[in-house]
Amino acid sequence: MKTPKRLSALVLDGLIDEVIRPLKSGKEAAVYVVRSEGETLCAKVYKEANKRAFHSQALYREGRKVRNSRQARAMERGSKFGRKQAEEVWQNTEVDALYRLAAAGVRVPRPHNFLDGVLLMELVTDEDGEAAPRLNDLDLTNEQALLYHEQLIHEVVKMLCGGIIHGDLSEFNILVDSEGPVIIDLPQAVDAAANNNAEHMLERDVANLAAYFGQFAPELLGTSYGKEIWTIYEHGSLTPDTKLTGHYKGSNKQADVDAIMREIDDAREEALRRKLGREQE
């Protein structure tokens, strides 16, 4: 196929040998299957901020590191320079998170290189060597739903032990290969220790998982892994091997169930809008 303009520099530099085919295109990025040093990878080409569909970025930017005060002021003012800097921070967040999480043993695509707004990373495949399907494209049995949910809760715990919360975790950004779920799409990842919304985002991520898998395994709808995980984390006792029960024995304060469900519904509608946007392009 004809080499996309954004990938031409990487081809000239020898980082990409061949662009094989488009994999998907959405509001936030376009992804291509490429060959690099004899290996089949995917190249994620980030789109400009004004072409993305992700909202409420201010919640996710809190606590992110910037190079200097000039960059921070420009980002606050929203100047042209500031928007460019914010875009770089947005992209670098995913790159940094992938390197950190891969090193911690979290099931994410293995990153290879990042240059000029293009991320080269592992192509996650199924047992036949084809691009792995998204979780939302699968019809699960009760047993599969319980297994995948358990595996993903373990991945969420490992991420939090590494100081990272996905922030937008749902069935639309999880792939499933022959060994189980693989978490993708991390530009909105947040620092668990530096973002005041971290607890809320973790609980929402976990609630999203329960709501989705609960369609196939209704027993998951009554669990409260998010509260349990965060409480253990706050006490400094969370490890990747922590045994969880799915029940929270903490404050007697009454949870606002309606508010939580509204948050879940909003997050799922946003994810669905992005999915539909990708399919229409």
What does the pLDDT look like over 39-82, one tens digit per residue? 999 999 998 765 444 444 655 555 545 455 555 454 455 555 54
CB half-sphere exposure, 196, CA atoms < 13 A: 3
User: Global pTM?
Assistant: 0.80
Q: What is the DSSP string of 242-254?
A: ----S------PP
What residue has token string 């373990």? 154
Query: Per-residue pLDDT for 255 more than 70?
Result: no
Neighbours of 175 (CB within 10 A): 22
**Whether residue 252 has pLDDT greater than 50:** no
CATH number at residue 250: 1.10.510
Q: What is the pLDDT of residues 98-121, one digit of tens each?
A: 999 999 999 999 999 999 889 999
Q: What pLDDT is stored for residue 197 in this prediction? A: 92
Q: Do 89 and 63 meet the contact criterion of CB atoms below 8 Å apart?
A: no
CA angle (204 as vertex; 161, 63 as ends), nearest 5: 55
- Tokens describing residue 3: 């080499």
Range of the domain at 62: 5-280
> What is the predicted pLDDT for the residue at 116?
87
Whether 124 has a pLDDT exceeding 70, the answer reads yes
Let me know: does 7 contact 112? Beta carbons within 8 Å: no
More confident residue, 215 or 48: 215
**Residue 200: band (very low, low, confident or very high) from pLDDT cuts 50, 70, 90:** very high
Q: 66 or 234: whose pLDDT is higher?
A: 234
Q: How many Cα atoms sit within 13 Å of 31 on the Cβ side?
A: 16
Asked whether residue 181 carries a pLDDT value surpassing 50, the answer given is yes
pLDDT, residue 65, reads: 57
Look over the chain and give the mean of its residue pLDDT values, rounded to a whole number: 84
Of 25-29, 67-71, 134-138, 211-215, minimum mean pLDDT range:
67-71
What confidence score (pLDDT) does residue 28 get?
82
Q: In this structure, how many other beta carbons lie within 10 angstroms of the beta carbon of residue 154?
A: 18
What is the residue type of 102?
Answer: A
Q: List, in sequence order, every beta strand (DSSP E) within 37-150.
A: 39-46, 111-115, 118-122
User: DSSP letter at 125?
Assistant: B
Q: Check pLDDT > 50 for residue 205.
A: yes
- pLDDT for the residue numbered 176: 98
Q: Is 187 exposed, middle or buried (0-12, 13-18, 19+ CB in 10 A)?
A: buried
Q: Report the pLDDT value the prediction gives residue 79, as an integer from 0 to 100.
A: 56
The structural domain count of the chain equals: 1
Give the percent of the chain with pLDDT over 90: 66
